[in-house]
Every structure is written in C-alpha cells, then in structure tokens.
C-alpha cells in the first residue's frame, strides 16, 4: 500500500462563540492519513468527531491549524474552490442518508457526475445501482425505499465519481443490526475495489475495528491513535 499522504491535519482547533465566551470543540488535533487506507474516528457524543469530519472535508473553516488534502491546504482555498475539490475528489455517506427527496434513486446517483459535466451519467449511475444490488429500483424515490436501500443508494452516490477520499459519518447509525452488517460489507468491498481512502466517523467500536487505524477523540482532543500504539 502506498504511503503517500492523502490528508494532513495539523494543530487543528475549532471554537465557537457562545454568549460571552468561546467553546472549544476541537483542540490542537494533528494526524496524517495515507492514501488508500481506512481510518475510523471514534469518540463519545460531543467529542468533536463530526466537527473534525466537517473540517477535513472543507465544509467549515478551522479557528487555527490547517488541513491539507493531497498536499493542498484547504484554508488557502476559496469557498468555490473547496466546492470544486469536493465535487472532484471527495465522497460522502451520511448517517441519515441525506438523499435528495425530490430526486429518484438514479437521479440522486447521477448528481455528482452531472456536477462534473459527465455525459454518460445515467448509464454509470445505473451501473452503480447494480453494484449496490438495486437494479431496477432506479426510478424509485427515497420515500419508496427502505432505510437499508436508501443507504445503498447513498453509497452508490458516494462512489460513482470515483473520489480519492470518502467520508462516512455514522453510516450505519440509523440501520438495524442485519442491515448494518450488509451496508458495512458493501462499504468495505467498494473501498477495496476502488482504492478510495476511507475515513469513518462512528461511535460503534465494532465497526471501527474493521478499519486499519482508529483515532480516538475525547473532549475535543485526540487521545489515542492506534497507528502509534
């Protein structure tokens, strides 16, 4: 496996004003993630996991410190440049699926391709729906699909444009045990097939255990890194 750095986080701090004082939700967090690896960020509720994911994906700006993706600093980029970076290099899987409710399953999968101006979007979307086991369901709206099916559409949408880095925020948090297992399996299979770097945010230690590396957060601080253990 390549040892190139996909993601570098250095002295990352994020605080929010709350009334008269500032609340620090992330404090001086630093780590690197290698290309093609799988990493889990774990920690109890309120430990700053989702904030860290948002900062790594360029969805928010840190108070101090820096995030670099494939060697490019996100802080130096404009809002639009970060959008383009997400469009081309990043994929997302959300805890509550976040499919666009007015779009069919196929159209949801097509969106990342259409955003890139890809011509064969429909065919590729259908291929991906096949790969996640939803052949023939492309015309269904999210409300016509079960939770597990919705998350599989979300996985197809996350992988369809072959991102370099995929963030998954509690990908099985809203699913029952059996469905969770199937979605987890699919997620890791797709990772293997595509070579995408995978960053999981979860408080499910069993799921975290399936990754190559676990970063533990508590009170906004990185308290352990299995790679250094």
Partner 1 sequence: MKFSFSWLLRMAWRDSRRDRARLLLFSLAVTIGVAALVAIDGFGREMQRQIDGKAKELLGADLKMEANRGFSDSALVWMDSLGGVQVEERTFSSMVLAPASGQSRAVQVHALDPGYPMYGRLETVPVEAADRFFEEGQALVDRVLMQQMKLSAGDSILLGSRVFAIAGALEKVPGRNAVFSNIYAPVYIPLSTLESTELVRKGSRVEHVRYFRFDPPVEVDTLVAQNTERFRRWRVRADTVSEQQQELGAAFQDLTRFLQLVAFVSLLLGGLGVGSAVHVYVQAKVKSVAVLRCLGASGRDAFSIYLLQIVLVGMVGALAGSLMGTLLQFVIPEVLSAFLPVSISFRLSWPSIGIGVLLGTGMALLFALPPLLRIRNISPLLAIQAAAGTSSTRPDWLGRGMYALILAVIWGMAYWRMQDLLLATIFSAGLLISVAILAGLAWVVILIVKAVFPQQASYLWRQALANLFRPQNQTLLLVLSIGLGTWGIALMFQIQGMLLREVDLVDDAERPNVVAFDIQSDQVATLDSIAKANEIILQDIVPVVTMKLDSLKGQPREFWLADSAGGVSTGGLNREYRVTYRDSLIGSEELTAGSLKPYAATGDTIWISVEEDFAKNSLKVELGDEVVFDLSRVPVKTYVGSFRKVDWQRVQTNFLVVFPAGVLEEAPQFIVAIGKSPDALNTANFQEAVVKNLRGISIIDLGLVVRTIEQILRQVSFVVNFMAWICILTGLLVLAGSVWNSLAQRRREAALLRTIGATRAQVMQIQLREYLLLGVLAVITGLGLALLGAWASSSLVFESDFVPEWKSLLALGLGIPALTLTIGLLGLRGVVNQPPLNVLRRED
Alpha carbon 120 to chain centroid, angstroms? 25
Helix (H) or strand (E) holding 154: helix 147-159
Minimum distance of partner 1 from residue 227's CB (angstroms): 25
The residue (of 219 and 227) whose beta carbon lies closer to partner 1 is: 219
Question: Within 152-181, which residues bind partner 1 (CB under 8 A)?
Answer: 157, 169
Which residue, chain included where needed, has tokens 């899987």? 93
Counting contacts by CB under 8 A, is residue 220 touching partner 1?
Answer: no
88 binds partner 1 (CB under 8 A): yes
- Residue 31's Cα: distance from chain center in Å? 17
Q: Which of 92, 153, 191, 215 binds partner 1 (CB under 8 A)?
A: 92
According to the binding rule CB under 8 A, does residue 146 interact with partner 1?
no
Reduced to 3 states (helix: H, G, I; strand: E, B; else coil), residue 198 is strand
> Should residue 117 be labelled a site residue for partner 1 when binding is judged by CB under 8 A?
yes
Minimum distance from residue 121 beta carbon to partner 1 (Å): 10
Binding status of residue 204 toward partner 1 by CB under 8 A = no
Token pair for residue 146?
Answer: 């079960």
Q: In the complex with partner 1, which residue's Cβ is closer, 51 or 197?
A: 51
What's the CA angle centered on 164, arms 163 and 166, to 5 degrees?
70
- Non-local CB neighbours of 185 within 8 Å, separated by 6+ positions: none
Instruction: Give, for 213, the enclosing helix (H) or strand (E).
Output: strand 213-218
When asked if residue 188 is in the footprint of partner 1 (CB under 8 A), the reply is: no
147: tokens are 């939770």
Q: Using CB under 8 A, which of the segments 35-43, 100-108, 187-195, 216-224 binds partner 1? A: 100-108
Q: Is 14 in the site for partner 1 (CB under 8 A)?
A: no
Pairing of strands 165-169, 197-202: parallel
Among 86, 131, 152, 191, binds partner 1 (CB under 8 A): 86
In the complex, the smallest distance separating the C-beta of residue 1 from partner 1, rounded to whole angstroms, is 27
Size of the site for partner 1 (CB under 8 A): 35
Q: In this structure, are residues 25 and 135 in contact, taking their beta carbons and an 8 Å threshold?
A: no
Gap between the Cα atoms of 7 and 68, Å rounded = 6
Burial of 18 (0-12, 13-18, 19+ CB in 10 A): exposed
Residues lying near partner 1 in the complex (CB under 8 A): 50-51, 53-54, 57, 59-60, 79-80, 83-88, 90, 92, 94-95, 98-103, 107, 111-112, 114-117, 143, 157, 169
């Amino acid at each position: 496996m390549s040892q190139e750095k996909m993601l570098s986080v250095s002295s990352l701090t994020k605080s929010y004003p709350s009334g008269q004082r500032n609340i620090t939700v992330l404090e001086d967090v630093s780590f690197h993630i290698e290309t093609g690896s799988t990493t889990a960020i774990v920690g109890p509720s309120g430990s700053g996991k989702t904030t860290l994911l948002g900062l790594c994906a360029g969805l928010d700006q840190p108070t101090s410190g820096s995030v670099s993706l494939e060697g490019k600093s996100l802080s130096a980029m404009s809002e639009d440049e970060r959008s383009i970076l997400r469009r081309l290099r990043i994929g997302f899987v959300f805890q509550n699926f976040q499919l666009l409710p007015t779009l069919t399953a196929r159209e949801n999968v097509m969106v990342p391709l259409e955003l890139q101006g890809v011509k064969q979007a429909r065919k590729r979307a259908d291929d991906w729906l096949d790969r996640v086991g939803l052949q023939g369901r492309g015309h269904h709206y999210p409300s016509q699909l079960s939770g597990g099916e919705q998350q599989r559409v979300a996985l197809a949408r996350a992988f369809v444009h072959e991102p370099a880095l995929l963030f998954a925020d509690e990908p099985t948090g809203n699913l029952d045990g059996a469905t969770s297992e199937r979605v987890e399996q699919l997620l890791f299979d797709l990772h293997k097939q595509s070579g995408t770097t995978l960053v999981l945010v979860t408080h499910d230690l069993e799921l975290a255990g399936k990754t190559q590396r676990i970063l533990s957060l508590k009170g906004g601080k990185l308290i352990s890194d299995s790679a250094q253990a």
